[in-house]
Structure 1
Amino acid sequence: MGSIQHLPYSTSDHYPLLISTDSAIIFSGNRIFHFEAWWTMEESFEGVIREVWESSLEPLIEKLKNLQIGLKKWASVNKSKNGDLKKRLTKELEALLMEERDDETMAKIIDTKIHLNMEIEKYEVYWEQRARANWL
């Protein structure tokens, strides 16, 4: 890793660059906050926003920072849960399709397909947003 730094220089309109290839510099991982479209498809999304927003009486800017932190944490947990849920629903659907078809099994198949399609839709929205860089 390395870094580039603009150095001040008063006798010219050009600034010299200091390019460092020091491997001791570690990327902090602080990325710009982006709203994710798939968040709106989660049932708990509105509740998380309300909970974080109402949890403090700080000024607007601080509330927005807290909301950003809260949404990042919530999204991280939900993203991993959604991957596990998609795998579980796929296995459940495979097992249901092997069973004998009666009314109860058919109802379970339909319900599982609906939930699985919703998880697949979230996944597609996630990648569509990245592919097009459609940050809202």
Structure 2
Amino acid sequence: MATPKWMNLFPEAKLYHLTSSVSDHSPLVLRMVKNKKGNKRARQSFRFESMWLRDQRCEEVVQAAWEEGMVTSTGSTLGNCLEKCRASLQAWNKTKFGHVGRKVAKLQKRLEWIELQLSSPEINNELMRIRVELNCWLDKEDDMWQQRSKLNWFQSRDRNTSFFHAKAFARQKKNFIEGILNANEVWHEDDQKVEEVVVAYYEDLFTTSQPTEFSELLQAVQPKVSTSMN
């Protein structure tokens, strides 16, 4: 059993169960996979963050972007609105909303410093303000890890960020594709090759073979209209 701390130290580790023809015990091989250098970084899909809803500016950003998409002359109206929302939210998240973890760390450090100061009306007011702001950001951090961990039974106000972080990490590792077999049973691990194999598979799957004989298919269709009904 690997602990979350060990998994964070070795995120690419893989454990394989091998077969044996001379024993009823299965040998184990622990492979410490290194990050592939030189491969292009995978393009991440856009995800609407539920924690953004705790900021009233989010609604303003979406409304402005949607109105801008409505007046765009090219393309479909819905597509334009969604694309404007995506671009605006990403820009707002980067320049205005900020990185949740760094915000929390900064406020915690500030709170520690305030608590060491001599008591005064100004210090007490600042202490209260920092605590309120820190709790708001901790709530946003909870929302973020809840969304990534995909746990529907998450209880509101029940903070356990390290647990949800571990769940999200396990889900990310489970979804990671180390390699893939192509149609000729050849193993590929290069990102570009993996992408080509996936695209080729679905192109073949959804490309018609131009069939001309449908008798076998029609035999499986049960008639719903009888001769008397006609």
TM-score w.r.t. the length of structure 2 is 0.42
- Alignment length, in residue pairs? 110
Root mean square deviation of aligned Cα: 2.5
Q: How far apart in 2 are the matches of 1:25 and 1:100?
A: 54
1:63: Cα distance to partner? 1.2
Q: How far apart in 1 are the matches of 2:106 and 2:39?
A: 41
In structure 2, the partner of 1:89 is 107
Q: 1:26 to 1:104 in 2, by over 3 A?
A: closer
Structure 2 residue 117 is matched with structure 1 residue 99: yes
Structure 2 residue 128 is matched with structure 1 residue 114: no
For the residue of structure 2 that corresponds to 1:55, the secondary structure is: helix
1:116: Cα distance to partner? 0.6
Q: How far apart in 2 are the matches of 1:27 and 1:106?
A: 47
Match of 1:75 among 93, 98, 102: 93
TM-score w.r.t. the length of structure 1 is 0.67
Answer with 1 or 2: which has the greater Rg.
2
Q: 1:45 to 1:120 in 2, by over 3 A?
A: same
Q: Is the Cα–Cα contact under 8 Å of residues 68 and 84 in structure 2 kept in the other structure?
A: no
Runs of 5+ unmatched residues, structure 1: 1-22
Q: How far apart in 1 are the matches of 2:136 and 2:121?
A: 23
Q: Which one-letter code corresponds to 1:91 in the other structure?
A: K
Where in structure 1 do 4 or more consecutive aligned residues deviate above 4 Å?
A: 23-28
In structure 2, the partner of 1:42 is 55
Q: State the percentage of identical aligned residues.
A: 23
Q: How far apart in 1 are the matches of 2:114 and 2:42?
A: 46
Runs of 5+ unmatched residues, structure 2: 1-36, 153-230
Higher relative contact order (CA 8 A, sep 6+): 1
